[in-house]
Structure 1
Amino acid sequence: MKLINKKIDESIKQKLINTGRHPIVSQILAARNISSSKDVDYPIEQLLSPNKLLNCDEAADFLSDAIQKQKKITIVGDYDADGASGSSVAILGFRLLGIEVDFLIPSRFKNGYGLSSEIVDMANTKETDIIITVDNGIASFEGISHANDLGIDVIVTDHHLQAENLPDAKFIINPNQKKCSFPSKNLCGAGVVFYLLIAIRKKLRDQNYFDNLNVDEPNLLQILDLVALATIADMVKMDFNNRLLVHHGLRVIRSQQCNLGLKKLFMLTNKSHLTALTSDLSFVIAPKINAAGRMDDMSLGVACLTATNENEAHEYARQLIEFNFQRKKTETDMQEEAQAIMRGFNNNNKTICLFNDKWHQGVIGILASRLKENFYRPVIIFAQDESGYLKGSARSIEGFHVRDAIDLVAKKNPEVIVTFGGHAMAAGLTIKKDRFDSFVQSFEEVAESILKPEDLSEIIEVDDSILQDNINVHIIDEINQLEWGNGFQRPLFTDTFDCVDQKVIKGLHTKLNLTKHNQTFESIFFNYQESIPDRVKCLYTLETNKFNNTNKVTLNIKKIIHE
């Protein structure tokens, strides 16, 4: 691991100070990839236009007509937080536009990913006229062909990378299809369908739809809370357009207009939505929604986020939290088993591929992420599905496009991989069980041809320490309330401390007191139980503790730095 201090653009820093920002906040922002103070100012008017999304205008024409004819529309989502949030955005958005739509979320365990022929048949039993996919569809060739045979129109809204060819859908809206010139390629699934809803509203406005019904034109900004959740949860890159979406989504979350299901998830976790941070969406809310798809049925997540009354929302949120407890227990067991396997790991290997026939298919992605963090290698974890195939979840490192790497394996060994898809940093695949060893070997060979030894040393960018600057709760709150996420990273700091007290709590985490500059900081190191030396260098984020009327700056330890 190598630590590099972020470079501060002094000119940008001064301009930010001149706009009224605190000097410390300005320093941190000036160390990000921004070219002017306008890059951290987010007027809604700066949102990219939907007409720049290929096929969005034509699809909006088609759907505005379908709304007025009250055609039966079914949303087909995905079983992760982006898919559930995006499906909920679609359901709530169409409701605001004057039509109730149905939805289907494929089971991770029974149906697998995407719009399959089986899911199309389920939609057909609902007398569906139009299927709109959310966060999937770009690779659903068979399912879309089957829908066409049944006379069901399919509109794909997706953000995943396309293959060489495209399915024969009525319309495909995806900023990452090759002919799309939309400036931001980083929209999540919920973001794409939100853009479609904006375009539909404009078509309806132009047709005097709202005036003719004597109703107010709906404010679609009220569902940006779910777009913000999905953007953070799916870890898409936080370019300006995504930061703008998250900025306005956070404003909704921090207001009384916050989604009912989100409110209840915050409340039952003893947090307030009124002070929500992007880190709360990442580490508090998203895991609970994801737990439904990992452990059972993501329809529960959609039900929570589309609940129409307090009692419904409360009960659905309670069930999500229970599923998350189950997920944590399963994850702990799987981590222990994986650690036992990894004791014999050959450090010369550039990849990690593990399979255990007892592992839970819904938790392999989390395990892959944990191992990637610990060993800094591309990782694929496999579990067996009900039909005997192995489902794999991949997580990667910088410089290794894991979806493309799996594609190379598929081209060299077409008999090994059944299906695959994904992004640079994460992917999913299905392989034949008897081909596991062959896949592991081929995947390692691909990595050997791409990765150099230095690529396996993690580089972490850190901000200059601010502990000596008389920081207080207000400054840290101002920092943490910003639109942090992938590619616009929340500040990470490193310092050397004296450890004056430590204890393991709940058998899982280490609570400690660290001193520096004659200040003592309460600190927490999650999922760490080993003894910490008296003198220790840490990688950490700064938090605030306001529990029981206290107001303290605290440290969240991310890593111990061994020098």
Structure 2
Amino acid sequence: MIQSKKRWTIDRPDEESVKLLMSALELPSVHAKILVSRGYTDVEAVKSFLHMSNDSLHNPFLLFDMKKSVERIRQAIEANEKITVYGDYDADGVTSVTVLTTALEMLGANVDFAIPNRFEHGYGPNVELFQKLHEAGTGLLITVDNGISGLEAVAYANSVSMDVIITDHHEIGPVLPDAFSIIHPRHPEGTYPFGELAGVGVAFKLASALLGEVPEDLYEIAAIGTVADLVPLKDENRFIVKEGIKRMRKSKRPGIQALVRVSSTEQQSLTEESLGFMIGPRLNAPGRLGSADDAVYLLKAEGQAEAIALAERLDSLNKERQAIVSTIAEEVEQAVIDMYGDSIPEVLVIGGEGWNPGVVGIVSSRLTEKYYRPSIVLCVDNETGIAKGSGRSIAGFDLFKELSKNADILSHFGGHEMAAGMSLSVNDVVALRSRLNAQAKEVLTTEMLIPQLRIDVPLTIGEIDVDVLESMEQLRPFGMSFEKPVFMIENLTPTSIRKIGAAKNHLKMELSDGTDSLDVIGFGDGELADAISPGAKLSITGDLQVNEWNGRKKPQMLLEDLLSNQRQLFDLRGIREPGRWTQLLPENGTVYVAFQQSTIDHFSTVLDGVLIHHVGHADITDTDYIVLLDVPEKEQQLKELIASVNPKRIYAHFYVPESKYFEGVPSREHFGWYYSFLKKRGSFDLRNQVQQLSKHKGWKIDTIYFMTKVFSELGFVKIEDGLAIVIEDADKKQLSESAAYQNRGRQIELEKTLVYASYMELKKWFDDVCDETVIREEQLWI
């Protein structure tokens, strides 16, 4: 057996719905399965989904306070009143600033922007920064991607007659700020049809309302922030990203071209993954380490030289951020080891001095990914006595909800189900850790603490080809609420397995279903090559892509996970030198067993320092890997061993010093001649005359001794001092009544089954043993 890394949950799409979409829309089965698995079963709904246009966008004036906000902004433009766009320091925030300031500049507004410094001002509206903006002449302040929780700062703005228009998309608290107007897709008094816009999406709607038309040249900027903020990619969000990526692939915007260049991305092949993993992190980097202003300057740059310089600066900051993250992650993981060892609790709350608060969210994500536990990483400042940090969660543990139960010790917190930020007194960190773990015990089961992999697109190899994979472009973008499919293919057999890469740490396989084959690459999975036995039935999951090499295109899967419910059997028979096969075994958890003491004596000198368990004489603890050094006397012994240990892998060596299989059992004619020979002589001196008889008849000496033992057990002869003496008038008996005769037959059959059978015959024998064990266990529970 090969255990999967994650707990697989397989959702199989309704076959009739799949057939309907395939027939009505002439879709490949792969596309139809993806759509049905995500709830798209209506033909007309699928048509609308696949063929979106500007008509997919809602009227921006449906947003609560939009008309009031537009009128106030136009009034400010006409009066040349200074407008400041107040953003956030992440990718959603800087793209929001870019979109709205660009639209205002197109209208001739006197506009600038301000972004709080994460370390000086914290997140959202800041009274000190509002004061500076007022003193600098700002008459109208418009927040983007923040503001809905800025009660104090908005109150200050009102006190100095500085109007504030809030545009935001974050969770709305019990009390709204007393702002001039609030544009929020989920405003409690609003009826906007789509409530999941990113901050940049809300800014894009305000820009559209101000301009009187959709600012199509800003789709590409809005797409970046929408992807980076991980909002659901449906409805308007989906169209913004889809249209934005299409335009980015041909964009002449210097900032976009520069970002593509420094991230070593091919512009014509940009996808939502490029935005999420290559573009977004570089726009996030300056705000994590200091001022985010350069990210806005880059997106608004008008010249190539300026854009390249800024992009290279952001790229350098991103590398610095990565180095800081790596260092803190190492310290955090060491702290986990020091605190808990192997007993990892339900929730990890780790604090440390000197950690950069701008990256602890990333570190928390890594911690949660590694241990699959909700985690919080806190930056401790002993001078102020404050700990600030970020947390990430897992399915089933609503982090915002659980933090809310601890509001009495949290001076500030915010976020949602899967991520949150918070600050608290250093003195309360231990209490928070204890409370959250107690709360987790009430809501998280043992099964919920095993990482889950949701598989919703099971396929066969025959459904996959290059044209199908390339045409999946029409289903993009994938993301929140329209997740990238996790494909699964079942019951495949490897036709080739090998380790690749300089360090041989990657896996390459060719798998077949008996008709078609598929190449599979597993990066970092090289060790699986030693875990997969010939003929094993495998199920695999991962991402399908087109691999192009020397002008030839082929489908391949990037492996995410793999499992086999079969016990893995490895054939070491015939490899006489142990040094050639011991190196193939896992270093840990391998147990060597033998049925014969003579085998233990033999291998004790050959396998230096290896403990060999004598079956029936020593307890064999549960183990995943077992090496069968020799053949048992009875088949049942081996069956009982396998049933009791239940190993995932069996390494079959089956050392036989003197094979009985090729000697066989002497014929009745052999026994008849030898008995007549003994009766004529009355006795026979085995010690002195056996070689002469062996030479005369061409029999092996062992054969003569064997027949003598059979006759002795049947009472035909007795053996005294090396003499075989015939017993007169012995009762007639069948040869099969002799234990030695029976054992010889059993040994020959066992050798035939275990030592000289083909690999597939041996594998079938073990599979049958496994089936017998399962049936017996099931009967016990009936």
TM-score between the two structures when normalised by the length of structure 2? 0.64
Are residue 102 (structure 1) and residue 107 (structure 2) matched? no
What's the counterpart of residue 451 of structure 1? 444
Of 290, 299, 308, which aligns to 1:296? 290
Are residue 521 (structure 1) and residue 528 (structure 2) matched? no
Are residue 55 (structure 1) and residue 65 (structure 2) matched? yes
Query: Structure 1 residues 68, 237: CA separation in 2 closer, same or farther (over 3 Å shift)?
Result: same
- Kept in 1, the 8 Å contact 2:116–2:124? The answer is yes
DSSP-derived class of the 1:75 partner: strand
Query: Structure 1 residues 154, 406: CA separation in 2 closer, same or farther (over 3 Å shift)?
Result: same
Are residue 317 (structure 1) and residue 322 (structure 2) matched? no
- Kept in 2, the 8 Å contact 1:304–1:317? The answer is yes
| Superposed displacement of residue 20, structure 1 | 4.5
Query: Structure 1 residues 426, 27: CA separation in 2 closer, same or farther (over 3 Å shift)?
Result: same
- Kept in 2, the 8 Å contact 1:3–1:460? The answer is yes
Query: Structure 1 residues 295, 17: CA separation in 2 closer, same or farther (over 3 Å shift)?
Result: farther
Residues in 2 aligned to 1:284 and 1:17: alpha-carbon distance in whole angstroms: 38
DSSP-derived class of the 1:516 partner: strand
Deviations 1:498-545 (A, max 9, x none): 57333567x9x95432221275636353xx587334438654212345
Residues in 2 aligned to 1:149 and 1:354: alpha-carbon distance in whole angstroms: 41
Query: Structure 1 residues 454, 479: CA separation in 2 closer, same or farther (over 3 Å shift)?
Result: same
Of 114, 124, 129, which aligns to 1:114? 124
DSSP-derived class of the 2:406 partner: helix
Deviations 1:42-62 (A, max 9, x none): 122121222322212221221
Residues in 1 aligned to 2:223 and 2:549: alpha-carbon distance in whole angstroms: 26
For residues 238-249 of structure 1, the aligned pairs below 5 Å read 238-249=233-244
What's the counterpart of residue 350 of structure 2? 354
DSSP-derived class of the 1:409 partner: coil
Query: Structure 1 residues 401, 178: CA separation in 2 closer, same or farther (over 3 Å shift)?
Result: farther
- Kept in 2, the 8 Å contact 1:231–1:246? The answer is yes
What's the counterpart of residue 336 of structure 1? 330
Paired AA for residue 352 in structure 2 = N
Query: Structure 1 residues 480, 396: CA separation in 2 closer, same or farther (over 3 Å shift)?
Result: farther
- Kept in 2, the 8 Å contact 1:510–1:524? The answer is no
Paired AA for residue 128 in structure 2 = E
Are residue 171 (structure 1) and residue 181 (structure 2) matched? yes
Paired AA for residue 24 in structure 2 = N
Query: Structure 1 residues 543, 109: CA separation in 2 closer, same or farther (over 3 Å shift)?
Result: farther
Residues in 2 aligned to 1:531 and 1:357: alpha-carbon distance in whole angstroms: 38
Query: Structure 1 residues 29, 389: CA separation in 2 closer, same or farther (over 3 Å shift)?
Result: same
Are residue 85 (structure 1) and residue 91 (structure 2) matched? no
- Kept in 1, the 8 Å contact 2:143–2:168? The answer is yes
| Superposed displacement of residue 352, structure 1 | 1.5
Are residue 382 (structure 1) and residue 388 (structure 2) matched? no
Residues in 2 aligned to 1:301 and 1:47: alpha-carbon distance in whole angstroms: 27
What's the counterpart of residue 396 of structure 1? 393
- Kept in 1, the 8 Å contact 2:81–2:110? The answer is no
What's the counterpart of residue 488 of structure 1? 482
Aligned Cα root-mean-square deviation (Å)? 2.7
DSSP-derived class of the 1:61 partner: helix
Residues in 2 aligned to 1:365 and 1:461: alpha-carbon distance in whole angstroms: 25
Are residue 556 (structure 1) and residue 558 (structure 2) matched? yes
Query: Structure 1 residues 398, 178: CA separation in 2 closer, same or farther (over 3 Å shift)?
Result: farther
DSSP-derived class of the 1:381 partner: strand
| Superposed displacement of residue 4, structure 1 | 2.3
Deviations 1:391-411 (A, max 9, x none): 11111222332222212210x
Residues in 2 aligned to 1:545 and 1:377: alpha-carbon distance in whole angstroms: 36
Residues in 2 aligned to 1:552 and 1:53: alpha-carbon distance in whole angstroms: 48
What's the counterpart of residue 37 of structure 2? 31
| Superposed displacement of residue 296, structure 1 | 2.8
| Superposed displacement of residue 339, structure 1 | 2.5
DSSP-derived class of the 1:160 partner: coil
- Kept in 2, the 8 Å contact 1:12–1:30? The answer is yes
- Kept in 2, the 8 Å contact 1:91–1:306? The answer is no
Percent identity between the two aligned chains? 28
Query: Structure 1 residues 426, 503: CA separation in 2 closer, same or farther (over 3 Å shift)?
Result: same
Paired AA for residue 469 in structure 1 = G
Query: Structure 1 residues 502, 307: CA separation in 2 closer, same or farther (over 3 Å shift)?
Result: farther
Paired AA for residue 96 in structure 2 = G
What's the counterpart of residue 440 of structure 1? 433
Residues in 2 aligned to 1:373 and 1:333: alpha-carbon distance in whole angstroms: 17
DSSP-derived class of the 2:528 partner: coil
- Kept in 2, the 8 Å contact 1:368–1:379? The answer is yes
Of 237, 255, 266, which aligns to 2:232? 237
What's the counterpart of residue 286 of structure 1? 280
Deviant stretches of 4+, over 6 Å: none
Structure 1 portions without partners, runs of 5+: 203-217
Residues in 1 aligned to 2:120 and 2:551: alpha-carbon distance in whole angstroms: 49
DSSP-derived class of the 1:469 partner: helix
DSSP-derived class of the 1:64 partner: helix
Deviations 1:446-485 (A, max 9, x none): 3334334443334322143446126344432332561110
Paired AA for residue 74 in structure 1 = T
Residues in 1 aligned to 2:254 and 2:522: alpha-carbon distance in whole angstroms: 31
Residues in 1 aligned to 2:353 and 2:493: alpha-carbon distance in whole angstroms: 44
Structure 2 portions without partners, runs of 5+: 1-5, 533-537, 566-782
Query: Structure 1 residues 346, 74: CA separation in 2 closer, same or farther (over 3 Å shift)?
Result: farther
Query: Structure 1 residues 33, 520: CA separation in 2 closer, same or farther (over 3 Å shift)?
Result: closer
Residues in 2 aligned to 1:57 and 1:452: alpha-carbon distance in whole angstroms: 50
- Kept in 2, the 8 Å contact 1:523–1:554? The answer is yes
Structure with more relative contact order (C-alpha pairs < 8 Å, separation 6 or more): 1
Paired AA for residue 26 in structure 1 = A
Deviations 1:259-283 (A, max 9, x none): 4322211122222222211111111
Paired AA for residue 521 in structure 1 = D
Are residue 221 (structure 1) and residue 216 (structure 2) matched? yes
| Superposed displacement of residue 185, structure 1 | 2.1
DSSP-derived class of the 1:502 partner: strand
What's the counterpart of residue 189 of structure 1? 199
What's the counterpart of residue 254 of structure 1? 249
Deviations 1:80-113 (A, max 9, x none): 1111111111122222333252111111112110
DSSP-derived class of the 1:532 partner: helix
Query: Structure 1 residues 72, 461: CA separation in 2 closer, same or farther (over 3 Å shift)?
Result: same
Paired AA for residue 150 in structure 1 = V
